[in-house]
């Protein structure tokens, strides 16, 4: 089916204006490789860190979510494991910087971190084999060896035969002249998958009608001799895609309801098919639950709620207390403080903070560079050593917070302390500290911003 880029939906309308396009095949962006993974087709790319060139796993998460990135990935099977090794070495050779020559091994982070020493992992890429690590070429002892620590993250060694997979502390960046983590293996979005639902095109001339996910649309099927091509974007729930698709886009069904989502947009659609007495087929498309978040924020589904989350940094003097966090989360389109809804959000928050820090102004970076850690305030104040009050009613209490040992139920916190996220520890640990603190020991860490809810750009 042909695809086409849709107009930005900041000012949505039921139908976009006619445009001239050239229908074509869906393909991966330059610098990435197309991979078929069972029912899924994905684009894989190798991304390398900018200065200081050796970075931790949190930086890899952030890197994989920029510039149409969809997150970390890894090899789907042994053939991909070898291929990714080759892609990594090719990318490295083409973009090599002098500092990497000082290391015996230059490594890349891949998806996965240990949640059990018996070989159980937390994965974000659901296109991998059984959502897991079955395609990883594990070095002996790396998967289930008792010495593997909880929270260790997974990486690929591209300069070893076939590209073996190992695990190490997620906060590691380099070690002497032994190794340097130079980048990550990422999924990259394919072109044409913007928030548009279907495209109808005549050739020649290639006059195209782009239909946005707003309102109700009716499309009538026409004979192939008309020269008209109609392409629908669907999220198939089938185990495998039809090898010889019959009656697309319905594939034999009379009605389908599915959901499409991206970093900033989510909506559901229903396609219903009907046939008139003269055998004319008509597709009726209805949309619901459409929501779009502003640029620089991320859309999150929390049970029955869908929210926009953003990480906001403080202005000068850049390191501020929790009261300032509450204030910054009420500026612009921000509507209050928030925190992670579940473990997956907790990990994502860590990557979001790293990304926002990397995009900060030079003035901001010059101050933050004086600290070994820049952390952000989260929603929550201790009212007892085992009770935390929160303001965001879309959260599941604080059950999604990845508490560091002792920070929640045990020793340590005192009444009145506030909650913050540490971004350079394994998967983002949550701790408590005095609410009026701005920094802790000169040069150690700076409370540099807050996790906030923001108003959506558009919602219905």
Beta-carbon count within 10 A of 362 CB: 6
Return the structure tokens found at 38: 């069972």
- Residue 88 inside a domain? The answer is yes
Share of residues in the chain with pLDDT > 70 (%) = 73
**pLDDT class for 78, splitting at 50, 70, 90?**
confident
The domain boundary, picked from 292, 315, 346, lies at: 292
Q: Which CATH number belongs to the domain containing residue 376 in this structure? A: 3.10.100.10
Same domain as 422, residue 305:
yes
Q: Which of 285, 107, 242, 119 is nearest to 181 (CA)?
A: 107
pLDDT of 13 > 50? The answer is no
Distances from the Cα of 278 to the Cα of 217, 224, 274, angstroms: 21, 17, 11
| Choice between 421 and 214, residue whose per-residue pLDDT is larger | 421
The answer to whether position 5 is within a domain reads no
How many distinct structural domains can be found in the chain? 3
User: For the residues 117-124, what does the mean pLDDT come to?
Assistant: 74
Per-residue pLDDT tens for 232-256?
667 666 666 666 666 777 777 888 8
Please report whether residue 10 resides in a domain: no
* Among candidate residues 188, 223, 256, the one where a domain is terminated: 188
Together in a domain, 382 and 416: yes
pLDDT digits over 306-317, tens only?
999 999 999 888
Same domain, 57 and 122: yes
Element (H, E) at 89: helix 78-94
Domain match, 183 and 49 both: yes
Closest CA to 257 of 240, 234, 275: 234
Same-domain pairing of 153 and 302: no
Dist CA 381 CA 379 (whole Å): 7
Is there a domain that residue 311 lies in?
A: yes
Pick the last residue of a domain from 292, 315, 339: 292
Of the pLDDT bands very low, low, confident and very high (cuts 50, 70, 90), residue 192 is very low
State whether 316 and 223 are in the same domain: no
Indicate whether 251 and 280 sit together in one domain: yes
Co-location of 100 and 236 in the same domain: no
In this predicted structure, the answer to whether residue 204 has a pLDDT above a threshold of 50 is no
The range of the structural domain enclosing residue 236 comes to: 18-27+191-292
Q: Confidence class of residue 336 from pLDDT cuts 50, 70 and 90?
A: very high
**Could you give the 3-state DSSP secondary structure of residue 348?**
helix
Same structural domain for residues 104 and 209? no
Same domain, 348 and 433: yes
Residue that is written with structure tokens 């930086």 in the block? 59
Q: In whole angstroms, how far apart are CA 449 and each of 98, 233, 311?
A: 34, 38, 7
pLDDT of 395:
94
Mean pLDDT over each residue of the chain, to the nearest integer: 76
Q: Do 317 and 381 fall within a single domain? A: yes
State residue 194's pLDDT score: 34
- The closest of 455, 300, 430 to 377, measured between CA atoms, is 430
- Same domain as 347, residue 234: no
pTM, entire model:
0.53
Asked, for residue 125, whether it belongs to a domain, the answer is: yes
């Amino acid at each position: 089916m042909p695809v086409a880029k849709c107009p930005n939906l900041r000012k949505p309308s039921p139908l976009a204006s006619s445009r001239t396009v050239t229908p074509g095949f869906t393909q991966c962006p330059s610098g990435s490789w197309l991979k078929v993974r069972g029912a899924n087709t994905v684009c894989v790319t190798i991304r390398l860190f900018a200065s200081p060139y050796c970075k931790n796993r949190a930086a890899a998460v952030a890197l994989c979510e920029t510039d149409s990135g969809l997150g970390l990935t890894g090899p789907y099977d042994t053939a991909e494991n070898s291929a990714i090794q080759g892609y990594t070495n090719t990318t490295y050779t083409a973009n090599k910087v002098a500092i990497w020559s000082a290391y015996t091994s230059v490594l890349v982070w891949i998806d996965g971190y240990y949640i059990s020493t018996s070989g159980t992992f937390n994965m974000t890429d659901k296109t991998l084999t059984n959502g897991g690590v079955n395609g990883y070429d594990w070095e002996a002892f790396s998967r289930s060896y008792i010495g593997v620590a909880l929270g260790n993250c997974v990486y690929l060694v591209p300069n070893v035969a076939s590209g073996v997979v190992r695990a190490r502390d997620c906060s590691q960046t380099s070690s002497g002249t032994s190794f340097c983590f130079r980048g990550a293996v990422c999924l990259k979005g394919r072109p044409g998958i913007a928030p548009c639902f279907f495209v109808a095109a005549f050739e020649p001339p290639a006059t195209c009608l782009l239909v946005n996910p707003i309102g109700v649309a009716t499309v009538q099927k026409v004979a192939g001799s008309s020269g008209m091509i109609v392409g629908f974007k669907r999220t198939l729930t089938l185990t495998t895609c039809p090898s010889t698709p019959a009656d697309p886009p319905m594939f034999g069904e009379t009605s389908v309801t599915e959901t499409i989502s991206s970093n900033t947009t989510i909506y559901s659609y229903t396609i219903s098919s009907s046939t008139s007495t003269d055998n004319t087929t008509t597709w009726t498309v209805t949309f619901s639950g459409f929501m779009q978040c502003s640029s620089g924020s991320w859309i999150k589904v929390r049970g029955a709620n869908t929210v926009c989350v953003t990480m906001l940094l403080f202005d000068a003097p850049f390191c501020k207390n929790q009261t300032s966090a509450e204030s910054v989360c009420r500026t612009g389109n921000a509507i209050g403080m928030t925190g992670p809804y579940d473990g997956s959000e907790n990990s994502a928050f860590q990557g979001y903070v790293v990304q926002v820090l990397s995009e900060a102004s030079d003035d901001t970076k010059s101050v933050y560079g004086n600290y070994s850690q820049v952390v952000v305030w989260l929603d929550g104040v201790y009212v007892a050593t085992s009770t935390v009050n929160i303001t965001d009613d879309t959260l599941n209490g604080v059950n999604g917070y990845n508490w560091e040992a002792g920070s929640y139920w045990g020793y340590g916190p005192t009444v009145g302390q506030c909650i913050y996220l540490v971004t350079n520890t394994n998967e983002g640990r949550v701790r408590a500290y005095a609410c009026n603190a701005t920094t802790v020991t000169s040069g150690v860490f700076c409370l540099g911003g807050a996790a906030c809810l923001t108003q959506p750009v558009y919602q219905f």
